[in-house]
Structure 1
Amino acid sequence: MAARLKRSIEEDYLTCSICFNIFTDPRQLSCGHSYCIQCLVEYFKSTTASQACPTCRQKMNCPKSTQIQTWIQTLPQDLLLIGIINAVKKNDPDQDNDEAFNGGNTLQEKTVCVKHIKCFEYFCTDHQDIICSECVTELHEKCVYSPISELQLKALSELNKIDSHIVRNLKYMSEIEQKGILNLVSYQKKKDETLVILSSLRKQFETFSSLILTDIKTKETNLNWPEVNMKSALKAIGIHRSHLEQFRSDVVAITQEINVAKKQKAVLEIQKIAVSLLNNAGINYSCFRDYKISFESNDMLISSISKVKEAANIEISSDVDNIDYHADETLSVIEPETAFMMYRKREFSVNIEKHIYRSLSGICLLYSSLIIIDQYNNFAMKMTLDGECVEKCSLKEPYQVCSSGNTGIAITCWDKNMICILDTEPILSIKQVVKTEKHYLGISDAGRDRFLVTSPDSSIDVISTSGEILFSINSRKQSNIFSSLFRKSASVPVKAVLKDETVIMCDSIQKTLVCMDFAGRILWQRKIPGISNFACGAEEIYCTLSCSNRVLRLTFDGNITDNTFLNMRHPWAIDTQGQTIVITEDSPSAKYHIIKLE
């Protein structure tokens, strides 16, 4: 236990982040971080940029007339680290010849002042040396010094804190280990049951295949039809024979994969492929109806397929290139903890003139106001954060809105190849009407007078304020060897947002949130049934689910942190800025909500 504690302390707290070794003469920068003196010299000599801390990147004030090595030697030593390292080495019986950081001798080796024949009682910070009471009076009266006992108490206090932290971590790791053992036992049991079922089905498949092939060969020898019917029947028999032989070879391949699969994901993937092959094995033999050929084994095969679905609890995704694998929740190793967030919600209603039916299709949060799009009544409205309508501007079927510059906004039109750019200050007015090459619906600000727009033809483009297409992003999904077994669905990006060096897109048909780079390579994707819209905050993504009346939160890695962040009636359009979130309700509601995070 003592050896493990020592090793943990050295690795986590007494290791230089440049050379990854125990500190040697640690020097402290102005930002508070410490490094070996030789590591600092080599680091600042090798870098071509201005001198900055390797950890927090804070700039250091090195005089231009002073050399780097001379300036580093003037930096103060980290006495606390020196004391902790010496205390650790003092209690280590395996180390007898350790060197310290001042002249090759450890602090504890010096016990008596040679000049005054007195025990050392103080440590001089200015001269970096231990001194006795007489030395204080004679040579160090104006220096900054501290009692050695006080420094030892500080070092022991830090070691106690480190020890308690390590004990808590060991306890937490023990709990995780117990959960992992329980999940492993459950997984092994489920795996054994599934292997038994698939082994039994494999034997049935081989029997069914041999019966069908034997039946086909028998019918081929007994065919005595006219020449035209003979050619048609032989052609159909050849096609079905190739299908069955391919099916049989696929079953053999799956059996081989089952024998070597040892991980949960591999087993689930094989189960997925097996069900796909079984679904496609229901071959239609209607072409033989006039010739009175019976295939009773086909009904037995379909019955076995339904048993496989029930036993393995398998669910098939309709996405061709990115197959999601689902099974019982007992197979998961550790359930993620839900991160709760405090917030205050206010509800407002847009009531202007006598309009009853409304369709609040877009919303944009500015610094002190917000813009709401009423698609049904052809309005763009400027509202205060207290729910008051300040101004409105008439447009032809406006749809989505985003910010443009400091005080401007950009709005797409539902049925026209056109984008309207408006000024919000001092009044809400049309500044420019941009004709575009395509019909765009989704829009977001891409910076530097550019917009990221989505089109119903599944394209995502970066356009200028003049409507010129500057760059197009085409999704490059990974291929799958079993893609021919599924029917590919269309993909329509309802909205795309630029985040750092990636593009996050909401697919309204596949009900999927996708993150890709500018080359179109998918980094991650998350299936979210019922997703309507989304917005990117500073640290998280917020998605509205109109069908299930809730808003959920995700990280920028695609992991769901809160499945029911907000509960409200049919949330639709959403935008966020800082700690404020605004959400509209789906038509025909005229309500919108302002949420303040705390």
Structure 2
Amino acid sequence: MAARLKHNIEEDYLTCSICFNIFTDPRQLSCGHSYCIQCLVEYLKSTTSSKSCPTCRQAMNCPKSTEIQTWIQTLPQDLLLIGIINAVKKHDPDQDHDYDETINGGKTLQEKTVCDKHIKCFEYFCSDHQDILCSECVAELHKKCVSSPISELQLKALSELNEIHSNVVRNLKDMSEIEQKGILNLVSYQNKKEEKLFILSSLRKQFEKFSSLILTDIKAKETSLNWPEVNMKSVLKAIRIHRSHLEQFRDDIVTTTREINIAKKQKDVLEIHKAADTLLNKAEINYSCFRDYKISFESNDLLISSISKVKEVANIEISSDVDIDYHADETLSVIEPETDFMMYRKREFSVNQETHLYRSLSGICLLDNSLIIIDQYNNNAMKMTLDGECVGNCSLTEPYQVCKSGNTGIAITCWDKNVIFILDTEPILSIKKVVKTNKHYLGISGAGKDRYLVTSPDSSIDVISTSGEILFSIDSRKQSNIFSSLFRKSASVPVKAMLKDETVIMCDSIKKTLVCMDFVGRIFWQRKIPGISNFTCGPEEIYCTLSCSNRVLRLTFDGNIADNTFLNIRHPWAIDTQGQTIVITEDSPSEKYHIIKLE
């Protein structure tokens, strides 16, 4: 053990950082670092740049008129290092015989207490040479050294050790109290959690039992509605079979009537009499199954009313004195509609908030397994997974709105230039080409293969190719009644338009109106929606975001509002949908977006 301690001391404290050997005549620089005198000479000779300490790079105050070797000789010796080196050499465990080993109860080392030279007890400690001395040694050899009585040093060391021990004991006590409190808090939380889980489990079982009874009742009523239909179809089938037999029998009678052979005719007549009795008896039909059925149905209004008012099964809140930041929040809720009943899961995410403090998420596009978010303020397009992870980004100039382009591509409009960016999303998000257009377009959506439906601040709506060529434009004369005030005073506000079957649905952001028209500008319907920010078309309905009132509306394709309390989201802005998934960004300066899964 002593040998290992000696080795550690030599390696950590007594080794020159230039030659990596035990110091030889160590000299101390003004910065406090020490090196072998010869190592300093060789180091300074090899250094052509400014003279600085090899460890901390502090400049050495070496006079230009003085030779290096002469100047190094004037540096002070590091007496502390020299004393430690001498003490280590003097007490080398391989040569030291001043230690006794006792085997009773283990091994102990007893340090010498008497000076071999003067035969006196050690009473002093030399700080310069780090050695214990007797009074004669101090008077003869260590007059200029700093020496202190061993008794005083022991008292001082004991006092310091006691203070450290008290601090350690106090910290251990505090840690034990904190640990105990943590255990109690954990047990308390687990007990509360078990109580709430028991309640939720009970609710789930009640709901399953209740829903099972409801479904059984509905199935029984569906079966009872089916039996008259099945009975009538069965009778009709029997009638068709008997009718075909009677028609065949009728043909046989006609043939017998025309028979010339009297004997054969009499024989056939007897057989016809016999067959007629059988067929006519079987052809007797009970027509009571074809009576005029009346179906009366009265729904359970109390049950339907209760279901329509259910927003969530329960509210759960986990609070603490310490603020906790959740990056994603998933809730299972029930939409409270006017016409139907629907479950949905909503997850809230934030884009990378460490890069920028301000965001303007102006566009969003839902792909098969990911989504694209446009950050107009920071000139960036980001590819995100459906779990909120950013897997790619691309820097663009003032990007604004985005839509799908082909199988794996996207198209992005520019806020201040007549260009459209075409990007690939697989395997990484990258610019494929930049298309220059004749007009300045802001709104963009897909219009079939290799075509886009784009809107311009001059109130025009065009269908363009992927090369920017205008394929078709809505007649401005026909649409004057729609866009008479559009962008009259605010040419920077965009219009978004989307194709649905053979119509164009357009958002007038000045009049706050949703308009449906054909390709010559004739209006089919228009709906005033105060505060509308954006919209998108799903497979069966239209979704509109209302940033000012924190709502998302559902509209039918004939312009009627299906549900004005569909979703509640803080300042919803850009929106897109695909299948049963809806994605929505929040209005700037928010960095949040939402993924809603309808169930």
Shorter-chain TM-score: what band? 0.3 to 0.5
Computing the radius of gyration over CA atoms, which structure comes out larger, 1 or 2? Answer: 2
Relative contact order, higher structure (CA 8 A, sep 6+): 1
Task: Give the TM-score normalised by the residue count of structure 2.
Answer: 0.46
Task: Give the TM-score normalised by the residue count of structure 1.
Answer: 0.46
